[in-house]
Structure 1
Amino acid sequence: MKVTALGGCGAMGRATSRELAENEAVDELLIADADLEAADAFADELRGDDPAGEITTERVDVTDQDALVAAIADSEVVANALPYAFNVDVMEACLEADCHYLDLGGLYHKTREQLELDEAFDEAGLTAVLGIGASPGLTNVAAARGAGRLDSVEEVHIRTGAKGGGEGFAYSAKTILDELTMEPVVYEDGEFETLEPLSGRETYEMPDPVGEVEGFHSIHSELATMPYAFEGVETVDFRVAFSPDLVNICEVLIGLNLTSEEPVEFEGVETSPREFLDWHLDRQPKPGAVEEWKSFRVDVHGTEDGEPAHYRYGVVVESRLEDWGLKATAVWTGVPMGVAAAVVGRGDALETGAKPPEEALDSESFAAELAERDIVIEEERVE
């Protein structure tokens, strides 16, 4: 099969491209990116590691729909590692080019918009997997494993945390600011509720070596799908724990009103503080490949054989510095999309249409494939 890694030499896309380059099911990997020079350099690096198939590159401007369709026209699958704002545009291009589609998530609102393309993908006989990174992605797979153990699902609680990783923004500054400034959505007692940003602070324990962290509610794609995917579920919530230093930086930016999207005029130019901030932060040096551990915990409550039951799932992913030169944030985000791209390309997705991971992928077999890549979803029945 031929797979296009869109944004395949970016911060997260590099891990997806490396996974696809090593996957025996992939005959050709196209690294498509706006920065052709960076794509060429990365492709040369991958070719030196004895890839499973051919590696090619192409410059693609995702805002040029005709050019995007032409670039992916002979691909079976497109793995989209671009910022989530482009997800719908890429999905529409995949429909036109007759390609399966995957992405890293849409921060709830974009995911809800993407789900509106479910019927179009189903009618085309195509699968779009919405949010198959770490969170969303691995968290959805873990929740589906728990749901598969239970006769009924009542609650799903998702917690994430990290240790190490260096200073600054771990991934796209724009996405992180959105996670911290957009109103979080939770599902409580069978109803959706919108909360204040940075609310619901809670200290919780993550798997070793991450340990104790402080998290808070954040807008996330799991809430866009799990309340519908697990029949009868009454509560779904999500908390994220960023480094205290990063949270402090963002709180200062918020307090100074630099995240406002209200237009302002400065020396004859109209913009907004947030628009300038996104532009500025995007040009700052990104943290290098440093030691880091990323983790999540998913607790699934319900009934089993007529009795209350609780399954807990946990993951810890470490940086791959020696062989890939990538920090854990990239590894646990990019690798699952690469694995899932091969699953979809082989025709092993559970359904056609635009679906979240808990509906599109077999949670047990997918978890087994991840374990072969040292991403192990540990399971515990909590008594």
Structure 2
Amino acid sequence: MKVTALGGCGAMGRATSRELAENDEVDELCIADVDREAAEAFAAELPGTVETATVDVTDHEAVVDLLADSDVAANALPYAFNLDVMEACLEADAHYLDLGGLYHKTQEQLELDDRFREAGLTAVLGIGASPGLTNVATAKAASHLNRVEEIHIRTGAKGGGEGFAYSAKTILDELTMNPVVFHDGEFAEVEPLSGRERYEMPDPVGEVEGFHSIHSELATMPYVFEGVREVDFRVAFSPDLVNICDVLIGLNLTSEEPVEFEGVETTPREFLDFHLDRQPKPGAVEEWKSFRVDVVGEADGERAHYRESVVVESRLDDWGLKATAVWTGVPMGIAAAVVGRGDALSTGAKPPEEVLDPEAFVDELAARDIVIEEERIE
């Protein structure tokens, strides 16, 4: 199979590309990026023969031409481009995967379900870490239950260096957009950074403080797990990063109200995104990323509670990548091979919990030292 990794030499895409380059099922890999020079330099580090291409994702015909001979497109670009790449995949007859759409974009992407199904194609919406691994873990826990009633997702980290771990725009969106929760069978919006809670993550992460954040799991789980009454998501960023964002928000620098400066009209947020995107990203440093998913329901007439958890460490010696990239990019690489060989559970545009076999996927992850532990809480 041939897989094209869009943004495949970016912060998250590098892990996807490395996973694909080391997978014997992938006969051809193309790393496509707006920066061809960076793509070629990265491709030279990978095993086997890796093609590169220049791509401007805003040029629809160019993306279609790029994907015309690909079986699968693994999209590691910013989530704002997800729909554009999906449309190109439909025209190019290629399967599609991405790293998530922050709830609202995911809702728009789900509307392409019929078109992908009619084309005999699979689009996996959100197969990074969260969304992605969290969805697969939830499906695995739910497989033990006759009925799912509650789903609680928590994430945390230790180490990782200073600054923004990935796209500053995406992180600011996560911290400034109204989070969505599913409470007592109904959706509700809550305030950004609300619902602060201290919780324990697996060693060595330990206790962290998390808060509600807008995430794609809430766009799909209440529908996939019929009868569920409670679904929530909390993320724990580093205190330093939260403090930085608190200051930016407090200074109104995340405002999208237009302002004029020296004859140029822009918004504080537009300038902030431009500026932060050009700042150096944290290097490959030691880091541990973790999530915990608690799924509660009924099994054989009794209340049952299953917990799925994972800790992922940086891969510095062989890949030179921190844990954020590893646990985000590797799952998409694995899923691209699953979809490419025809092992997806269905066609259409669907979330991971609906289209990937959780047992088989967890086994694939374990083979890459990403081990999701399961326990029944009594």
TM range (shorter): over 0.9
Distance 1:286 1:169 in 2: 7
> Residue 211 in 1 paired to residue 211 in 2?
no
1:146 Cα shift? 0.9
Tell me what 1:220 maps to. 215
Tell me what 2:310 maps to. 315
1:247 to 234, 242, 247: 242
1:364 Cα shift? 0.3
1:355 Cα shift? 0.3
Tell me what 2:192 maps to. 197
Distance 1:348 1:286 in 2: 36
1:5 Cα shift? 0.3
Distance 1:67 1:42 in 2: 22
Tell me what 2:51 maps to. 56
Aligned-partner SS, 2:253: coil
Q: Which runs of 5 or more structure 1 residues have no equivalent in the other structure?
A: none
1:182 to 177, 180, 185: 177
Tell me what 1:137 maps to. 132
1:369 Cα shift? 0.3
Q: Note the alpha carbon deviations across 1:307-353, whole angstroms, 9 max, x for none.
A: 00000000000000000000000000000000000000000000100
Aligned-partner SS, 2:255: coil
Tell me what 1:26 maps to. 26
Aligned-partner SS, 1:219: coil
Tell me what 1:274 maps to. 269
- Normalising by the residue count of structure 2, what TM-score does the alignment of the two structures yield? 1.00
Tell me what 2:42 maps to. 42
Tell me what 1:338 maps to. 333
Distance 2:226 2:271 in 1: 43
> Residue 71 in 1 paired to residue 63 in 2?
no
2:355 to 329, 339, 360: 360
Distance 2:21 2:158 in 1: 29
1:141 Cα shift? 0.3
Distance 1:96 1:262 in 2: 37
Distance 1:226 1:319 in 2: 29
Q: Which runs of 5 or more structure 2 residues have no equivalent in the other structure?
A: none
**Identity over aligned residues, as a percent?**
83
Distance 1:332 1:6 in 2: 18
> Residue 298 in 1 paired to residue 266 in 2?
no
Distance 1:109 1:84 in 2: 10
Tell me what 2:104 maps to. 109
> Residue 13 in 1 paired to residue 13 in 2?
yes
> Residue 156 in 1 paired to residue 151 in 2?
yes
Distance 1:39 1:245 in 2: 32
Aligned-partner SS, 1:294: strand
Count, aligned residues: 378
RMSD, aligned α-carbons = 0.4
> Residue 347 in 1 paired to residue 338 in 2?
no
Distance 1:190 1:368 in 2: 33
1:84 to 79, 86, 89: 79
Aligned-partner SS, 1:45: coil
1:368 Cα shift? 0.2
Moved over 2 A (4+): none
Q: Note the alpha carbon deviations across 1:109-141, whole angstroms, 9 max, x for none.
A: 000000000000000000000000000000000
Q: Note the alpha carbon deviations across 1:264-321, whole angstroms, 9 max, x for none.
A: 0011000000000000000101100000000000000000110000000000000000
Distance 1:56 1:284 in 2: 28
Aligned-partner SS, 1:149: coil
- Normalising by the residue count of structure 1, what TM-score does the alignment of the two structures yield? 0.98
Distance 1:235 1:281 in 2: 36
